[in-house]
Amino acid sequence: QVQLAESGGGSVQTGGSLTLSCVVSGDIDDGRCMTWFRKSAGPGRQAVAALGRDGSKEITGDRKGRFTVSKDSAKNTLYLQMNNLKPWDSGIYYCAADFCTRWTRSLDEAAFKYWGQGTQVTVSS
pLDDT at 41: 87
Does 85 score more than 90 pLDDT? yes
Q: What is the pLDDT of residue 81?
A: 98
Q: Round to whole Å and give the CA distance between 125 and 47.
A: 23
Mean pLDDT for the chain overall: 95
**Which neighbouring-strand residues pair with 35?**
50, 96
DSSP for 78-122?
A: EEEEE-S--GGG-EEEEEEEE--SS-S----GGG--EE---EEEE
DSSP state of 27: S
Q: What is the pLDDT of residue 107?
A: 96
Q: Which pLDDT score, from 0 to 100, does residue 23 have?
A: 96
